Structure 1
């Protein structure tokens, strides 16, 4: 069986070709496998191939496995790449040396196939969890950045502007928020149908820290009700600057425009105006 390009990539590092071939035979049905015969070549391949897991022999000339591991774990680009030390050594000092070098796992030669596959599978799960956490952190950073800019700058800015320019600034800020969120969102909603647009509005506003839900209605004009009890801007900030509620309404309107929906947004209640929750209605536009 030949591995596809989407399979996780394993780098085998060993100065004995027979050891490399044995590990390849264990792995190549499930993984894409690349190999190196010394530490220097391994570091070059890590840079070019970006392996998901590295199987690293300890006893090698020039750069041994401990040294290679230390270099990898000391580099911000590779510090989270899992490293399994593969060694014929089993002494306590050898294991401690591997731990000090930053190794994630250990296998003793001769390598058992089932143990090898189990260790790799576990490390790949941990690696995926790590990157999921990083993605969540980036999402939170985006929320905090947008909220900070809007809640701190807009009220001050609007105070200095003549009334005819305030509407222009608000629309510009709405476009900025929606574009920033969509750049960080999945593209799965590109072909949005009518029944899902309420959920999309909630998904986008919730990326700012809100907790909004959409309810599909069957009335003549009102298509969706969007309601939530956690304000995207923060309760205190919204109550101090109710203009932020206008931004929420504008974000929903902009989303409807982007996805070509002939609807308009009405505001029934907002936390910024002292209500217990925010309620918006998405209504049909009567021509």
Structure 2
């Protein structure tokens, strides 16, 4: 009866899956991957506290919000729930509005948590790429024969672009419906730049990409202007991936002592 009541409260906003004992609940979680779990304390085989504690100890499920739904309202019962890792409590009989409000709040917190994890992962990726390119590449290029330098630069450009595309959602770096200038800026900005794009003097035949924050760091770029070549190469690689008839010209770079980086994308005339 309790399960049917909760289903009726939730059916207009959520899809639900139910279990009638703690062991079945633990088997369902990795299969169904729920966004929120409602747990009754009094269940056969494993009670709600035991199920909650098991979920919170598992790295795969520890961040799924758990609401304890119980007829117990004593102080010791609440402490037991907190110790088990419960995120919220509802006392029977459950009020529909309170239930929906608690779920909404927990889902917002969950989203914020995963947004923070995404930002951390992006920062780690950014730091990893910048570290490799700013510290290793200039030294490596100084030791290589001239004919091998362009090969290394080309390989590193591919590594940067592919790493960013693989580690970010498609709506963050753009798709074919967006302008190629916006896509270029979104990708280079994943490395810490602040590039923006705008139409040049020749309208749709010319596009400007400019920013006053270098993706490699101002001092690093000025010490190793070769890094500016990598920026140009990244734009060229993106143009190739999205099959655009454009070529990249370098107008200004921080690495060469300018106040900003300015690249121009020109329509190739056949």
**Fold-level match, TM-score > 0.5?**
yes
Displacement of 1:259: 1.8
TM norm structure 2: 0.93
- Cα distance in 2 for partners of 1:114, 1:286 equals 63
Runs of 4+ in 1 over 6 A off after TM superposition: none
Change in 2 beyond 3 A, CA 1:167/1:84: same
1:200 equivalent among 183, 188, 199:
183
How does 1:1-287 map onto structure 2 within 5 Å?
A: 18-187=1-170, 189-192=174-177, 196-219=179-202, 223-287=206-270
User: How many residue pairs are counted as aligned between the two chains?
Assistant: 268
- Cα distance in 1 for partners of 2:67, 2:203 equals 63
Q: Secondary structure at the match of 1:36?
A: coil
Greater displacement, 52-61 / 277-286: 277-286
- Cα distance in 1 for partners of 2:33, 2:53 equals 17
Deviations 1:55-80 (A, max 9, x none): 11112233221111111111111110
**Is contact 1:192-1:259 (8 Å) kept?**
no
Q: Secondary structure at the match of 2:258?
A: coil
* Match of residue 5 from structure 1: none
Greater displacement, 122-131 / 207-216: 122-131
- Cα distance in 2 for partners of 1:221, 1:102 equals 57
Q: Secondary structure at the match of 1:230?
A: coil
Q: Secondary structure at the match of 1:216?
A: strand
**Is contact 2:40-2:69 (8 Å) kept?**
yes
- Cα distance in 2 for partners of 1:43, 1:220 equals 60
Displacement of 1:222: 6.1
Q: Secondary structure at the match of 2:195?
A: strand
**Is contact 2:221-2:254 (8 Å) kept?**
yes
**Is contact 2:175-2:183 (8 Å) kept?**
no
TM norm structure 1: 0.88
* Match of residue 12 from structure 1: none
Q: Which runs of 5+ in 2 are unaligned?
A: none
The Cα RMSD (Å) is 1.7
**Is contact 2:68-2:88 (8 Å) kept?**
yes
- Cα distance in 1 for partners of 2:204, 2:17 equals 61
Displacement of 1:42: 1.0
Displacement of 1:174: 0.9
